[in-house]
Structure formats: C-alpha cells, structure tokens
Structure 1
Amino acid sequence: MSKPICYSKMIKIGEISQYIDVRGKDERNPLLIILHGGPGSSVSHIASKLQVDLEEDFLVVNWDQRGAGRTYTEETPKESMNIKQFVDETMELIDYLLNIHKQKKLYLAGHSWGSILGLITASKYPDKIHAYIGIGQVANMKQGEEVSYQFAYNEARARKNIQAIQDLEIIGEPPFKDPETGIEIKMKYIHQFGGSSRNFDVFAFLLNNIPKDLSEQYFKGLDFSSKYLFPQMMDINFFETIKVLDIPVYFIMGKYDYQTPTEIVKDYYDILEAPSKNLIIFEESAHCPNYEEPEKFAKVMKNIYKETYPIA
C-alpha cells in the first residue's frame, strides 16, 4: 500500500532556518531535489501546480535557498551569499533528507543558477547521488552572455524593432560597462523574443502566483540574491573546472534557450567525461523545459530513474 508524502517546514541548514517542500505519491520512491534558478527565484509556491506528474515516481524536494523565498530574512549576512556556502548547504540538505527518509542516495537536479550548485555538488558528493540532471545548464557564463546578446540583437534587426536595436546598441556587447542595466535590458529582449519561454510564460506564471503573504519577502529576496550572487556567476566556466563526473549525467535543454544557450551546453557535453551521459533537447521549450513541457519532462525523468536506480 503506497503512502503519499506531503509536507513543508523550516529546517536548520547552514546555521539558519530554511524552507523545504516535499511531495510524492509513495514514500518509498527516491528523493529528487530540484535546485531553483535565479539566483533567488524559488519555486516552492508553484511546485504543486507544475510537478504533479513528477510526484508519481519521486519524492520531489523544493528548497527556498539562503536569501530566497520563505528562507529570506533581512538578517541574512551578505558575506554568506557565496557559491561555496550554497554548495555546502546543498550537501547538508542531501544528508538531512537521506537520514529522514532512510535512503542511501538521491537524484539531484539543478535549473539555471541551480545548475551551478548542482554540478559542483555532484562533482564533490557523488557517493550520495544516483544521477545529476542539469536543466537550462550553465556551462560558461561569459560565453553564454555573448551568445545571448547576439541572439537578442539579431532578432531585433530581423524584426525591425528600432527600440530594441537602439537599446541593445546603447548597452553594447558584454561585458557591459554598467552590468546591472546591461543585463536587465538584454534579458528584457531575450524574454520578448522567445529565448526564455516559448509557448508558456513560466516567469509570468511564477511571479503572478506568489501568495500575498510571501510577496514582499519574495521580491526582497530576489533583489538581495541577484545583487550578491550574479557577479560570482560570471566567473563560472565548467569547461575548465569540471571536466569529469563520477556519476551519470543528463542535460535537459530547450531548443530555443538563449538564457543559458543550448549550443554552449552541446560543446560542454562533448568534452565532459562521465560513466554515462545524455543530452536531451526539448523541441518546444526555451529556458524552462521542465515547466514548459512538464509531461515530457516527467517521462524523461521516469526513464532516468529506470536507467540509474539500483534494483534491490
């Protein structure tokens, strides 16, 4: 008889209280942590709406990371907002969940910013992870920004969008002289031209469904997280720092992703060594294939489970 799991609570991670949400149709199913993007774009408030199919095969864990969502407080030290701290806390969360649910390993997925944490954690903690799944994977941030900008500029010219052309020419190619303004303008047009979402505006859905009691905290956390973490992201180049993984790895990318460009991930996939690896392209998605094509994503995850979960 299967027993469903559904709980959310604050737990102690990294010496502060952090929020987790865990859902699944059968408590015996393997744990799957999905590390949210952003930085600061926690998704626990929409998890129940967009991951129902996943819950058939996994205990799905959504965690509001340090400085994000229900975990954000104004007392969060800005010096604690660094990638090493987040990786340490990811490993701490893994140990906590494995202990509570009496499992030896779990599945780790990371989306966008979360894929930075996920890949680093997978490289450091392979003994606790069945497989790593990178969604909208970051591979080389500086190169990604260049490809992203070029997409926006080419689209603006193709569409004869004079305002977009002018805006993009004013900020110039990356690295931007004014990074905050440059990234904001570039992202505006990436989103407008379909490089973030294709047929389903995930980001609008995410922001429009924030509960009233969370809204102020959420947006403060988003600003706080971006301010301190985004500059650190710009130094990420996994072509140089992670060339080998000791566990199976899957990259799930949207064909139209120009936020973390798929073409760069294809190149990274080619050089990455792992016991097994697979690059899966979702033909109707951009940056959020897990939410833009949720049924297909659940089927892919079911296959990953079949390929990597040890039979007792």
Structure 2
Amino acid sequence: MIKKETIIINNIAQGYIMCEQNKKAPVILYLHGGPGSPEYPIFQSQLNASYLCEFNICYYDHRGCGLSFNKKSKLSLDLLIEDVLDITKHLIKKYNKKNIILVAHSFGTYLGIKAVQAQPEYYSSYIGISQITNVKESERRIYDDLLKVCKEKKDYKGKRLLKKNTNSVKKLSNHYMKNVKGRLLKRYQIGLTRKPLPTYFIIGKIFSFPLYSLKNKLEYCKGLIYSSRSLFPMTKEINLFQNSYNFKIPIYFIHGIYDYQISRSLVNEYFEKLKSPKKELIIFEESAHFPNFEEPDKFNKIITSLCNT
C-alpha cells in the first residue's frame, strides 16, 4: 500500500509518502536531497518490486517543501535534524521497532549523518547516497576537475568561463552554481544523471504524480524555491571533517563515478577517516548523482543486501 500521510512535528504539519508492505518488515526512513527536492514523485517508476516488498519505506519531505510545505515554517539545519529524529521516533512507535534503517541522498545525507551521530540507538544502519562532507572544499575540487574536463575535451570556451568565475566559485554564488558549474555538468553529463533527461522531465513527473493533489503539486514548486533560498546559505558552511568521525552503527556510502555534484575524492577522504563497527564505500560505474535512478536494479539489490545483513 502506498499512501501519503501527515503528522505534526514540532508544531508544524509535515508529510511523507509511506510504502507499506508488511508491518513486521524492517522500516526505512528516506531523506531526500535539494534542499527542498523530494524524490519519490520523480523516481517512483524506478523502484522495483523486490525493493518495495522487503521493507516499509517512509519517503519524508523535510519541513518547508513538498508535502511539508509551509511558508511560515522556520528553516534551519538544526531544526531539520530535530525533525528527522522526531519522525524516526514516530516510525519506531508506529511499527513497534527497536530501531530503523536510515537512507539519505545528497543534502539529506547531512541531516542523516547528524541524526545518526545524535541518536545512534534509533538506527540499525545508515546508507548515504552522494554523501555531503565539506561543501566549500567539494566545490573547489569540482572546479579543478571541471578545468581538467574542459582541457581534455578541448573546450576552450568552457575553460574561459571557469577562469572568468574564479571568485564566484569561492563565494558559491547562485550565478556560478547555475550558469557556470550547472551548464558544464549538463554539457558533459556528469551532473544529476549520466544520460540526459528529457526536457521538463522533473516537472512532468511532479504534475503527473497520482498521489499529489493540484495543491500538493503547486506547493512542491513553491517549496523547492523557498527551501533552496532559505537553506543554501547554511548548507555552504557544512563541514563534517570538523566533528563527525565516530559512529556506533554500520555506515555505508554509495557514489556514482560520474558524480561531479559532490567531490568523490573528498568522500573517499572522509570515508577513510570515519570509524564505525562496519563501513563500506560502493561505487556505481554507470551513474552520476542519482545511482538509485540510473542503476535501479543494482541499487535495489545492494540496499536489500545491506539492510538485511
């Protein structure tokens, strides 16, 4: 059964999509990226039966976006982490579990890793897809990587564009992220996905999603803008290298080899430093930023294996 639900967390109505198969099955809480980009409406068709049948999966929309959109919501990273812990407690109680599995993607991986660090007893394992580590250093390295790509491709216009925006990358300006980095990632298919998405693919998926009312669809778009504007300045300051190394549960990272949204070399460095009872870094050879979309069969098989260990 797939349904949308709403609960009150910290005095704010917040929503999620629940894929419930069997109340006795393990529970996964999935934290989306963005900020402000719930993924279930976009990737629903890529989730095959083997994945859904194994688990009860909660696709939670963080406050200020998607089913949790409310323009009066206060937004901060600390509040979002607190919300994650509260919805975790809700799921543990609802399904009568000792703990649950936490899966997060991109921006959601910061919330996830912090939740695991704060309350490890709530979780049996953590899986970070395109794990955020140090945002400013990641962008600096991606800038250098893009220069190399332009050189290899003999893209002199791209190289000049990067050189012209050296100061913009230091500030992570909206112009650089969208019109410089974003343009080059799309050109070389090393950004969101390895294969180019059809024009209006994402907006088409959102407006054709059967569980969304028209109000939900419009609020998805509003929440994307609101969350991005409110949270990106805080997101730029994220640095897990400062105090997030030690964990009491298994930690798994999944990363697409063509992902230039988040520096893979930095993920490798962070992975080597962290300590946990069990850890593994899994590279997807045909994916960019969304391995769960680009290689769904492999992703589902790995998730099922890791979560049933």
Tell me the TM-score normalised to structure 2 length. Answer: 0.90
Corresponding position of 1:132: 126
Instruction: Determine the structure 2 residue equivalent to 1:142.
Output: 136
Pairing of 1:14-163 with structure 2 (within 5 A): 14-52=10-48, 53-76=50-73, 80-163=74-157
Q: Give the stretch that moved more between structures: 213-222 or 55-64.
A: 213-222
AA in 2 matched with 1:169: K
Distance across 1 between alignment mates of 2:198 and 2:295: 11
The Cα of 1:175 is off from its aligned counterpart by 4.1
Residue 207 of structure 2 corresponds to 211
Q: Which runs of 5+ in 1 are unaligned?
A: 308-312
Aligned length: 300
Contact 1:108–1:129 (CA<8 Å) still a contact in 2?
Answer: yes
SS in 1 for 2:40: coil
Q: What is the CA RMSD across the aligned residues, in angstroms?
A: 2.0
Partner-residue secondary structure (3-state), 1:238: coil
Confirm or deny: 8 A CA contact 2:172 2:236 kept in the other structure. Answer: no
Structure 2 stretches lacking a partner, 5+ long:
209-213
Read off the aligned partner of 2:247 and give its amino acid letter.
L
* Partner residue in 1 for 2:188: 193
Residues 17-64 of structure 1, C-alpha deviations (whole Å, 9 max, x = no match): 111111143332111111000000112323532223421211111111
Stretch of structure 1 that moved more, 224-233 or 273-282: 224-233
Q: 1:178 to 1:261 in 2, by over 3 A?
A: closer
Letter in 2 for 1:126: P
Residue identity opposite 2:263 in structure 1: P
Tell me the SS of whatever aligns to 2:238: coil
CA distance in 1 between partners of 2:301 and 2:110 (Å): 24
Indicate the percent of aligned positions where both proteins have the same amino acid. 29
Shift in CA distance, 267/103, structure 1 to aligned 2, threshold 3 Å: same
Q: 1:42 to 1:74 in 2, by over 3 A?
A: same
Secondary structure in structure 1 of the residue aligned to 2:261:
coil
**Which residue number corresponds to residue 266 of structure 2?**
264
Alignment partners' CA distance in 1, 2:135 and 2:77: 14
Q: Spell out, residue by residue over 1:69-94, the C-alpha distance to the aligned partner (whole angstroms, 9 max, x if none).
A: 12213322xxx211100000000000
Q: 2:231 aligns with which of 213, 225, 229?
A: 229
Greater shift in the superposed pair: 279-288 or 161-170: 161-170
Hey, what does 2:286 align to over in structure 1? Answer: 284
User: Structure 1, residues 94-114: CA drift from partner, whole Å, max 9, x if none?
Assistant: 011111111111000110000
AA of the residue aligned to 1:69: G
Whole-Å Cα distance in 2 between the matches of residues 203 and 278 of structure 1? Answer: 36
Mean Cα deviation higher: 22-31 or 247-256? 22-31
Secondary structure at the residue paired with 1:45? helix
Secondary structure of 1:237 counterpart: coil
Structure-1-length-normalised TM-score: 0.90
**What is the Cα deviation at residue 163 of structure 1?**
4.0
Report if the CA contact (8 A) 1:47-1:62 is conserved: no
- Which secondary structure does the structure 1 equivalent of 2:242 belong to? helix
Are the equivalent residues in 2 in contact too, given 1:199–1:284 (CA < 8 A)?
Answer: no
